[in-house]
Structure 1
Amino acid sequence: MSGIDDLEPALVHHIVNTLGWSGLRPLQEEAIAPLIAGDDAILLAPTAGGKTEAAAFPLLSKMVQGRWSGTSVLYVCPLKALLNNLLPRLETYTSWLGRTAALWHGDVTAGVRKRILAARPDVLLTTPESLEAMLVSANVDHMSFFSGLRAVVVDEVHAFAGDDRGWHLLAVLERLQHVVGRPVQRVGLSATVGNPDELLLWLQGSGAGKQPSTVVAPHLSAPKPGTAVSSSASLVDIQLDYVGSVDNAATVIAALHRGEKRLVFCESRRLVEELGEKLRAKGVTTFLSHASLSVDERRRAEQAFAEARDCVIVSTSTLELGIDVGDLDRVIQIDAPTTVASFLQRLGRTGRRPGSLRNCLFLALDESGLLGAAALLLQWSRGWVEPVVAPPEPRHIVAQQLLALCLQEPQVGDELWQERWNNLGPFDRSAEPIVRYLVDNGYLDQDGGLLSIGPEAERRFGHRHFMNLTAVFTSPPQFTVLQGRREIGKTDPSLLTEKINGPRRLLLAGRSWQVTYIDWKRKRCFVEPVDSGGRAKWSGAGSNFGVSFELTRAVREVLLGVNPPVDITPRAEKYLAQAREHFLEEVHPGGTVIIRSPGGYVKWWTWAGHRANATLASTLGEVAVPAQQVNDCWVRLRDDVSSDVWKHMSATAPGNLCLPEVDERAVKGLKFVDALPPRLAESTLARRLADLEGAARVFSEPVRFVVRP
């Protein structure tokens, strides 16, 4: 009997007659039985593989058959724009069964929220931050509102699990589960993940090993960590080209694929702005999307792009996830993303029409971009994708959760707090030193065996009803840019303070603007349009851990002569040959290389990635140059290092690997770090900066000494 027969008959009727589907896709078929049985699950399929329906149809059937009432299903996404995009579909599916769906996130008005609280929807689409805000809000009776909760769907689960938002999500789900007093089914949706079994265990949280669980991945054998679950190289059209500059990239994009809809990915907001401006100057209909553009500006661009035909949209990773931008013809990548997983997401935006191939054109701006793209494509062609690993030791998230819990419940037992997370580590007894620090420093009050919010937490986080406590990232300060009353986006304050000759001009939304007035107190900048001369700049947010061990080692392979099996243009071939000549002595097939240059500089060319090199520099102690700027390719050694000194050092170092030294400014980049003991804060970041396995592998390899004349 087909799995579709287990769905609610009214739902099947609409699948066949309203959607016009002759049947379900393999993922949708195979997800029915485990989801109706109540299993926790990870559903894997390429982008546009029907994952939303694979989760929604069985859960909606359970909702009707089990007579669930109230808000029984949460649909959690990492992006508000993705939620906005999904709402019409889920409203349609729920309406077929006489049920409702609604949206709750930071852009939803107070009036809509009141209506949701008065008439709870069956399915609520939201973000983890909004769920936390509901738990701590005095306006939401969370005990009543979530009393009917039965299941949670986590879309793009890999995007959560790989950073601190994942820990925040897990902690909030555990608190919700404690509120409802029963296990809540957890379903994760992902297009690109190399370790689905481990990811499912992570998503299960305190239920891991206790609740039944299933990975649903049609046509795929159980992948091992580091193994791709994506299309093979033979089924796609990939080209690697070298253009040498942003100007040349704009020229190529303007000339190629006219009449088609093209999505161009860049690795920085500044590059998005510069390329967008140059494309417009060449007469190309161009739209932009990145995090520092206003919500309205991004929506207008995405809507116009979805409806247009002969046009380009230039974006950072904001359009990497499953937001629908219409019938896309081409994806173009400037240089390379830092992970194969990101590339797979971007590649999956194309090839959705019958008879069309998934495609991507790489345009390298320089030697580094060319090598990075070739290395990434080499790893991808081998069927490799990064395993998703939660960041270790999220102690700052533990501190944030303890404070949030004391907002949710004004008084919490000082011996019972860990029960709110169902004893899930790291929110269990291991967090007691953090609790003591919070009490000792006034973040929490302790009275009669009860914990409550203290005066220091009120001072630091109490602004606007503790709104700053529900977000786990620290964003650099930015100024809002306005043309009259219309918000265009945000810009880095340094563009407004640095000395210049002549008028001050900004580049934002792909256009130049002249600054007319700056409201320093309210962080607002008023502008008027001008023809040219604008500049774009943003300070980096968060920690940059560079490129991974595996991708950096793939760069080394490329330099040793290995080409990815894709279409490489003659220009790219020429510059690859030049790069191989340039790095002729720095790579060796038999191991790593230490080179002493004429000026006395000594570099150990490890090709091990940023985190492994940071670990190696710390482990080498006095042999390495102190306080050096760590990079992906090499470690700077002292000028007097000899082969004898090196042999002695390398013989003892592998058994004594050290965590990297941590810059005080980097520690400040962890939000809520002030709510941690300084020693724990430094240890948290040091562990995240380290790659002990990669460092050990490098130490195990032969080393060749080269002295340049």
Structure 2
Amino acid sequence: MAASQAFLQLDPRIQRYLWAEGWGALRDVQEQAIPLILPGNQDVLVAASTASGKTEAAFLPALTHLLGQPDEGLIVYISPLKALINDQFGRLDRLCENLGIPVWPWHGDVTSTSKRKFMQKPTGVLLITPESLEATLCNRGTSIAALFKRMTFFVIDELHAFIGTERGKQLQALMHRIEIVLGRTVPRIGLSATLGDMGLAARFLRSSCPVAIVDATSTGSQLLILVKGFEEHPTTGETSNKSKLEAERAPLAIAQHMFKILRGSNNLVFPNSRREVERYTHLLNGLCEQAQVPKEFWPHHGNLSKEIRYETEAALKQRERSATAVCTSTLELGIDIGAVKSVAQIGTPPSVASLRQRLGRSGRREGEPAILRGYVIEDALDERASLETRLRLDTVQTAAAISLLLENWFEPPAVHGEHYSTLVQQLLSSIAQYGGLQAAHAFRLLCTPPGPFERVSKDAFAELLRTLGQKEILTQDHAGLLLHGRVGDKIVNHYSFYAAFTSDEEFRIVSGGKALGTLPVSQIMTPGQRILFGGRTWLIEAIDEEHKTIHVASAKGGTPPLFDGSGGRVHTRVRQRMRDIYVAQDALPFLDTTAQRFLGEGRKTFATLALADRLLLDHGSQAILLTWLGDATNEAIACLLMSHGIQAFTGRLGVEIHRAGHSLQEIKNLLADIASRPVAPVDELLTKAGNLVHQKWDGLLSPHLLRQSYASSNLELDEALDWLQATFKSRSYQVSSDT
């Protein structure tokens, strides 16, 4: 072990362990983190690339601090995944056994005997999920002070997976509630590989005092990228089995290329949906059968059983045979699957941050490059080709994401949002913890700084209590003590209560009583909107939010809409980079010949339609407002239009506006008028909006709080108004047909 000040600060027993394990030197992230964490008197945010030694950067100094205490202490490690807990147990158990420190995994699969042993002597290292920690506070309220009395650190792994989510707000609340019981702050160590804004991430870790930051994300390793384009020739109407096969030539060609390139090594393949995971796993293993070679391709997504997921993870870890996982984001996080040679992304990546996280799995061995293979499918051009097809949007969006990745930019964490849904859960949980709460005590606990819901006002909290009382979620006794109501008691006593989030739900698409399939929906939808599904255009007739069903009828005539319900929320920076790529003339070196042709075709359409200087496009019964802004800003503009009686929806090019007889100039005049006025209250903007219930307990909110919650998390109203004002004050845009 090369001499270093950080190494010399570690406990001698840990030093001897590292020597015995053959460590030649501490890594950069460990050198930086150890002196900051060791005193145990401050919060520390540690950002470093995947497999850079972040876990050891936290635990080597934290364990040294623990060993230096006069009494046995406790480190609480919080993970988003049970599988990650199991991995960390394997990594820590041998080290801690040498130190005489017990390690306690705690989740749904751990035996009650092990949990009882920890309860009898709560010292060492506790590895736990937010849901299990929630259950502990909820069900063992009187024991919390004793359980966590000797706690020295919170260690939060994969911090980026929590920021801006219901689980993240839950995690903030759980740590705060424990500190309230203890009457002191507990140092928090956040670990992450992907953080777009270190300052925002630090404020998420703790907003009330400074957080020390270790940023060791730049590895300097070689990166190899190739994006291959594939052209599809879609069929229309009734198709024979033969023509259906022909219509899937592009996916088969992609599978054949991956079969040729990936066999014989470990890799990760990321399609953009569970359905596509199943499709490509089937195609790849079919090719294995045809070639009479052993199966090398394994599926991994959230709907699979635990046994199947573990089988895939085990296949990646063993060294005797090569294995490639075809997976969703379930393998983005830090589950130890060993080194993979390359990462393949099929279709546009959900975000630049997601692409970076996925790529971090590759190039982990000394001297090996990180390898990214992208695959884009574009429909062949003909006289019926849509504007989206002619612009080659998938190719350009993929190129934009990669170019931003190469600049080391990725989306900043979304830390705004009032999260009333999670406040409902934390209120019910706190009442269980304390056996009842006065309303004023509950507000001080959860909503007074540095509480996790400090953005919630007294008036909003009072409205929440009234609504929960009306729904029999809460009740008050004669002394004013808040207790669980008849319905609330059933909710809290069900095992599903401890999770702050729901599994991704898809809306059923039904036409004339016949189910057509399901569609993921992440934005506002209203009757009268048109959507693409199964290659056809449908008109939304009604939305049944309670049963997650959209009733549609076949849309006659008109140009197909650009919205198809798929994909993640796109950031403004990505859309603006797409526009830059269209305007530029240079070739992109990471595109193959076909993808480069797609880019050229998209640029030609962009130039022919003069889209760099267009504001509004005539798109049949629709007009497209070309904003080149992110989805949250486009949705805000759509809401502003709807509040003025114009139907509008977000699309991949901007905002799609139902003209209803209005000329393009009239729409432009309306937008200019909107830009000149103060923004209407959120209740007015969202009064006609459907599909606002996105978070687990949103259905228990009043209409007013539901709209406030949705807007705070999903709409960028300030950016929308800034764009409208700048657009109509500084530039004179043209309006044009897209034909």
Mark yes or no: TM-score above 0.5: yes
Contact 2:315–2:323 (Cα < 8 Å) also in 1: no
1:672 correspondence with 2:697: yes
1:256 Cα deviation (Å)? 1.3
Structural mapping, 1:347-366, within 5 Å: 347-366=359-378
Distance 1:255 1:654, change over 3 A: farther
1:167 correspondence with 2:165: no
1:426 correspondence with 2:437: no
How many aligned positions are there?
632
Distance 1:708 1:338, change over 3 A: closer
Task: Show the counterpart of 1:483.
Answer: none
Contact 1:607–1:634 (Cα < 8 Å) also in 2: no
Q: Give the Cα–Cα distance (whole angstroms) in 1 for the partners of residues 36 and 77 of structure 2.
A: 18
Deviates more, 1:187-196 or 1:692-701: 692-701
Distance 1:402 1:601, change over 3 A: closer
Task: Show the counterpart of 1:337.
Answer: 349
Distance 1:608 1:213, change over 3 A: closer
Distance 1:623 1:182, change over 3 A: closer
Distance 1:567 1:390, change over 3 A: same
Q: Give the Cα–Cα distance (whole angstroms) in 1 for the partners of residues 171 and 609 of structure 2.
A: 44
1:102-156 CA distances to partner (integer Å, 9 max, x unpaired)?
1111222333322332343411111111100011125983332222222101111
Contact 2:400–2:574 (Cα < 8 Å) also in 1: yes
Aligned with residue 698 of structure 1, among 723, 731, 737? 723
Contact 1:91–1:102 (Cα < 8 Å) also in 2: no
Distance 1:618 1:414, change over 3 A: closer
TM-score normalised per structure 1: 0.83
Contact 2:123–2:150 (Cα < 8 Å) also in 1: no
Aligned with residue 456 of structure 1, among 452, 464, 487? 487
Task: Show the counterpart of 2:637.
Answer: 616
Structure 2 residue ranges without an equivalent (≥5): 232-249, 289-294, 379-391, 517-564
Q: Give the Cα–Cα distance (whole angstroms) in 1 for the partners of residues 630 and 340 of structure 2.
A: 34
Task: Show the counterpart of 2:501.
Answer: 473
1:466 Cα deviation (Å)? 3.1
Structural mapping, 1:257-656, within 5 Å: 257-283=262-288, 285-307=296-318, 308-366=320-378, 367-421=392-446, 423=449, 424-426=451-453, 430=458, 431-447=461-477, 448-459=479-490, 461-462=491-492, 465-475=493-503, 546-561=569-584, 566-585=589-608, 588-589=611-612, 591-597=613-619, 599=620, 601-621=622-642, 625-626=646-647, 628=649, 630-636=651-657, 638=659, 639-643=661-665, 646-647=668-669, 649-650=671-672, 652-653=674-675, 655-656=677-678
Deviates more, 1:58-67 or 1:239-248: 239-248
Q: Give the Cα–Cα distance (whole angstroms) in 2 for the partners of residues 69 and 388 of structure 1.
A: 36
Q: Give the Cα–Cα distance (whole angstroms) in 2 for the partners of residues 371 and 662 of structure 1.
A: 35
1:354 Cα deviation (Å)? 1.4
Distance 1:272 1:630, change over 3 A: same
1:35-74 CA distances to partner (integer Å, 9 max, x unpaired)?
123210100111111100000011101101123425x111
Contact 1:615–1:657 (Cα < 8 Å) also in 2: no
Distance 1:301 1:696, change over 3 A: same
Q: Give the Cα–Cα distance (whole angstroms) in 2 for the partners of residues 499 and 647 of structure 1.
A: 42
1:579 Cα deviation (Å)? 2.2
Report the secondary structure of 1:681's partner residue: helix
Deviates more, 1:52-61 or 1:104-113: 104-113
Partner amino acid for 2:215? Answer: A
1:613-642 CA distances to partner (integer Å, 9 max, x unpaired)?
111122234777415465453432524234
Task: Show the counterpart of 1:253.
Answer: 258
Q: Give the Cα–Cα distance (whole angstroms) in 2 for the partners of residues 543 and 171 of structure 1.
A: 32
Partner amino acid for 2:616? Answer: I
1:664 Cα deviation (Å)? 6.3
1:283-312 CA distances to partner (integer Å, 9 max, x unpaired)?
052111000001111001110122154332
Distance 1:297 1:628, change over 3 A: same
TM-score normalised per structure 2: 0.80
1:196 correspondence with 2:198: yes
Structure 1 residue ranges without an equivalent (≥5): 219-228, 479-490, 501-541
1:672-701 CA distances to partner (integer Å, 9 max, x unpaired)?
123322210122113322122442353223
Partner amino acid for 1:582? Answer: T
1:567 Cα deviation (Å)? 2.1
What is the percent sequence identity of the aligned residues? 28
Task: Show the counterpart of 2:54.
Answer: 51
Report the secondary structure of 2:494's partner residue: helix
Task: Show the counterpart of 2:522.
Answer: none
Q: Give the Cα–Cα distance (whole angstroms) in 1 for the partners of residues 472 and 655 of structure 2.
A: 45
Contact 1:263–1:331 (Cα < 8 Å) also in 2: yes
Contact 2:225–2:373 (Cα < 8 Å) also in 1: yes
Q: Give the Cα–Cα distance (whole angstroms) in 2 for the partners of residues 340 and 654 of structure 1.
A: 34
Deviates more, 1:560-569 or 1:606-615: 560-569
Distance 1:289 1:586, change over 3 A: farther
Q: Give the Cα–Cα distance (whole angstroms) in 1 for the partners of residues 609 and 487 of structure 2.
A: 53
C-alpha RMSD over aligned residues? 2.9
1:655-675 CA distances to partner (integer Å, 9 max, x unpaired)?
534555377652333211233
Contact 2:122–2:148 (Cα < 8 Å) also in 1: no
1:9 correspondence with 2:20: no
